[in-house]
Amino acid sequence: MDLILPDLGLLFWTGIVFCCLLFLLAKFAWKPILNAVNAREQKISEALDLAAKTQAEMKALKAENDQILKEARAERDAILKEAKEAANHMIEDAKSKSKVEAQKIVESARLNINSEKAAAIAEIKTHVATLAVEIAEKVVRGELASDEKQKALAEKLAGDIQMN
Amino acid sequence: MQHFSKLSFIMRKVAFLLAFLGISGFSFANEEKEFNVSEMIMHHIKDAHEWHLYGPEHGGTSIYLPIILLDNGLKTFSSSHFYHGQPVTIENKESGVSMHYVKGTGPASEYAMFHEEIYKLNEAGLLEFKGEHPHNAQPFDFSITKNVMSLLMGAFLILVIMFSVAKFYRKNGAVAPKGLAKFFEPIIVMVRDDIAKANINEHKYEKYVPYLLTIFFFIWFNNMLGLIPFLPGGANLTGNITVTLFLAVCTLLVTLFSGNKNYWGHIFWMPGVPVPMKFFMMPIEIIGIFTKPFALMIRLFANITAGHIIVLALISIIFVNKNIGWAGLSVPMALFISVLEVLVAFLQGFLFAMLSALFIGAAVEEAHH
């Protein structure tokens, strides 16, 4: 029967020991332990949040980089295209300008040649006329140098007339 | 007492059958004084004023614990004055039953001890028996008994361990735990999350965590100490009704002082039921306040005491049959029960804390309708 009857002495000691234990543990054990555990949990959840945030930021940054790269590429292409066009334009321009110049040169050369030619022909004409007169003079003088010759000539001329 | 003799009867029957099957030798000779299983078991699960170490029950080696009596002033002396006292036998003339008790010597000469209870002697220097119990006056006994000693050692152990765990965090801050802290942190977090947070309102639970942690570790550590059969353990502290009564009263007081308007409303004037029912529910709810901690008290007491009884009863098989061969049966069975008791030691601590949290949770719950 005394197994299920409370004992005053033990109740007294249990009360004292348990209350002291509760006080000491609460103040010097549970408080620092739980504080540390809570602080660590806080730290871990903050770290996780930060990691997620950083990841999102990285993703955004990468997208931005891609965008910038794309834009840069497009710009480069545009610049290249423009440069090419400008070069083509310049070449085309130079070509057409030089053509015109060449034509002009050719034209002026032809005009020059023609005028030179005309001058040369005119000179040759005068020269030939002079020469012909000189030759005729010499021939006439030769023909008419002696009497026999004059007689032969006259006869010949007379022969020609007769024949006709 | 009755069911213990029944138990020993059943055990003997089982033993007989096994002996018949040839598992063990046959030795039922009972010439000498019969080994009394129930007396031995009751002696072991009850409190004592000595700590028996080894050797025979009377005349073996014991630590004699201090006796502190409050009887017209404080009286302190060693319990050896009883254990090495003067044995007295009184025969009851009517029933013919003889009673044995020990009269103290030296400073204890005014007292006598009967079944670990201390009584004052009458003028004739005797105990007067009425039936099976003496009706002499008893001094207030605040002795450091075996259970008190065990209580002090258990508390010391918890303090040393938890202070060293706390020291780790104080030294290293909020880092991953190592060593003792690594072992105890999950358990502490379990009490906080699965016991306190799960049962008590999220905004109020923090206040009760230290109490629940203390009660859990107090019960668990003392249960484990009780499973050790020699000195640091061996007392049946958490299987003592006084200890479980105190713990249950603590939970009751915490519950009552935490009770809010909603809680008391549900007890004295149950909302949502017709008025006649309100009157009918009130006494039931008032009784309910006390049955809950009462169940806590009985559950812990019965579980731990039963565990000790089963282990002792299984070991007793050897001594009942007076044959070492029975150890082949009794030791594996006692080992199995002991391992089970390791689980029960944790489980009972967990349950006590869990149910305490549940009661507190019900007391601080806000109305939600």
> What residue segments make up the domains of chain B, in order of their start?
67-143, 146-364
Give me the residue from B142, B158, B185 closest to A21, CB to CB. Answer: B158
Three-state DSSP class for residue B50:
strand
What mean pLDDT, rounded, does chain B reach?
A: 87
pLDDT at B40 over 70: yes
A3, part of any domain: no
pLDDT at residue A53, rounded to an integer:
96
Cα torsion A67, A68, A72, A78: sign: positive
Query: Does residue B218 sit at the A interface (CB-CB below 8 Å)?
Result: yes
- What pLDDT score was predicted for residue A164? 65
Nearest chain A Cα distance for residue B93, angstroms: 24
Q: Tell me how far apart the 2 most distant CA atoms of chain A are, in Å.
A: 206
Would an 8 Å CB–CB cutoff place B365 in contact with chain A? no
Instruction: Please identify which residue in the block is written with the tokens 């003088």.
Output: A141
User: Total domain count for chain A?
Assistant: 1
Q: Tell me whether residue A2 is in a domain.
A: no
Q: Which among A2, A5, A36 is the nearest to B173, CB-wise?
A: A36
| Residue A19 sits at the chain B interface (C-beta within 8 Å) | no
Residue type, position B331, single letter: V
Whether the ipTM is more than 0.90: the answer is: no
Does some domain include residue A50?
yes
Is residue A59 predicted with pLDDT exceeding 90? Answer: yes
Which element (helix H / strand E) includes B162?
helix B146-172
Question: Residue A106: which domain range?
Answer: 9-163
d(Cα B194, Cα B190) in Å, to the nearest integer? 5
Which amino acid is residue B158, in one-letter code?
I
Residues near B295 by beta carbon (within 8 Å), at least 6 away in sequence: B355
B300 touching A (Cβ < 8 Å): no
Q: Do B185 and A6 touch (CB under 8 A)?
A: no
| Partners of residue A46 in chain B, C-beta under 8 Å | none
Q: Greater confidence, A153 or B284?
A: B284
| Among B4, B169, B245, B352, the residue to mutate for chain A (most A Cβ within 10 A) | B169
Mention every residue, 6+ apart, whose C-beta is less than 8 A from residue B24.
Answer: B18, B321, B323, B325, B326, B328, B329
End-to-end CA distance of chain A: 198
Cβ-based contacts under 8 A for chains A and B:
124
Model confidence pLDDT, tens digit, residues B75-93: 999 999 999 888 888 887 7
Query: Which of A5, A36, A42 is closest, CB to CB, to B169?
Result: A36
* Low-confidence winner among A55-59, B198-202, B295-299 (lowest mean pLDDT): B198-202
Q: Is residue A4 domain-resident?
A: no
Give me the residues of A, 75-134, that contact B with CB < 8 A: none
DSSP string spanning B345-367?
HHHHHHHHHHHHHHHHHHHHPPP
**Tokens at residue B32, please?**
């000498």
Integer Cα distance of B345 and B339 in angstroms: 10
Kindly indicate the confidence band of residue B221, based on its pLDDT and cuts at 50, 70 and 90.
Answer: very high
Pairing of strands B133-134, B140-141: unpaired
Q: B142-157: buried (b, 16+ CB within 10 Å) or exposed (e) per residue?
A: bbbbbbbbbbebbbeb
Q: Please say whether the beta carbons of A19 and B153 come within 8 A.
A: no
The mean pLDDT of B58-79, rounded to a whole number, is: 89
A47 touches chain B (CB under 8 A): no
Q: Taking CB atoms and an 8 Å limit, are A9 and B148 in contact across chains? A: yes
pLDDT of the residue at B32: 53
- Chain B residues touching A6 at Cβ < 8 A: 241-242, 245
Reply yes or no on whether the pLDDT at B17 is more than 70: no
Determine, yes or no, domain membership for A1.
no
Instruction: Give a yes or no: residue A67 inside a domain.
Output: yes
Closest residue in B to A38 (Cα–Cα) = B174
Closest alpha carbon within chain B to A13 = B148
- The answer to whether the Cβ–Cβ distance between B165 and A25 falls below 8 Å is no
**pLDDT tier, A2 (very low <50, low <70, confident <90, very high otherwise):** confident
Dist. CA B70–CA B205, nearest whole Å: 42
Higher pLDDT, B343 or A144: B343
For residue B329, what pLDDT is reported?
Answer: 94
Q: Name residues 257-296 of chain B within 8 A of A (Cβ).
A: none
Q: Between residues 91 and 110 of chain B, which touch chain A (CB distance below 8 Å)?
A: none
Per-residue model confidence (pLDDT) at position B2: 45
**Is residue A37 less than 8 Å (CB to CB) from chain B?**
yes
* Contacts B250 to A, Cβ<8 Å: 18
Q: How far apart are CA B241 and CA B248, in angstroms?
A: 10
| Contact in structure between B267 and B335 (CB atoms under 8 Å) | no
Smallest Cα distance from A29 to chain B, Å: 5
**B166 vs A29: CB contact, 8 Å cut-off?**
yes
User: Quick check: B165 and A33 CB within 8 A?
Assistant: yes
Does B192 touch chain A if contact means CB atoms closer than 8 Å?
Answer: yes
Answer whether residue B31 shows pLDDT above 50: no
Decide if A43 and B174 are in contact by the 8 Å CB cutoff.
Answer: yes
